[in-house]
Amino acid sequence: MEKKSIVHHVFFWLKDPESVADRNALISGIRKLADIETVKNLSVGIAAETEMRDVIDNSWNVAELMYFDNLNAQAVYQAHPLHLEFIDQCSHLWSKVLVYDMEEV
């Protein structure tokens, strides 16, 4: 049986969506979160160019997707110094954050 995870998917809207430098800075910042020991399978993305439909939200600029073994592992991540450092160093880049936490069933 496959192990069930907590999936943490976070969408960021940049203050300056036209700035490639800001986008790259945010992407680099997110990648460092992989060093947190409870983070599994970190990936970073941008809005895909799938066919546009009215149910799709592609207004965001950068997203992070990561998996955790359980809720405790996610809580460890939230309070981890590397996560707080990421917020400290990168939060000036975004105007909005939206988080979806999914428990696989």
Distances (CA, A) of 103 to 4, 16, 70, 73, 80: 8, 32, 9, 13, 21
Residue 16 Cβ, how far from a copy of itself at the closest point, in Å? 18
The smaller minimum CB distance to a copy of itself, of residues 65 and 82, is found at: 65
H/E run at residue 67: strand 62-68
Coil, helix or strand at residue 66: strand
Which listed residue (20, 21, 57, 92) binds a copy of itself by CB under 8 A? Answer: 57
The smaller minimum CB distance to a copy of itself, of residues 16 and 78, is found at: 78
55 near a copy of itself, judged by CB under 8 A: yes
Which residues have C-beta within 8 Å of that of residue 56, sequence separation ≥ 6? Answer: 50
The smaller minimum CB distance to a copy of itself, of residues 88 and 101, is found at: 101
Q: What gap in Å lies between CA 7 and CA 71, rounded to an integer?
A: 10
100 near a copy of itself, judged by CB under 8 A: yes
Nearest to 65 by CA among 40, 29, 95, 36: 40
102 near a copy of itself, judged by CB under 8 A: yes
Binding footprint of a copy of itself on the chain (CB under 8 A): 6-9, 11, 27, 43-51, 53, 55-58, 60, 63, 65, 71, 74-75, 78, 97-105
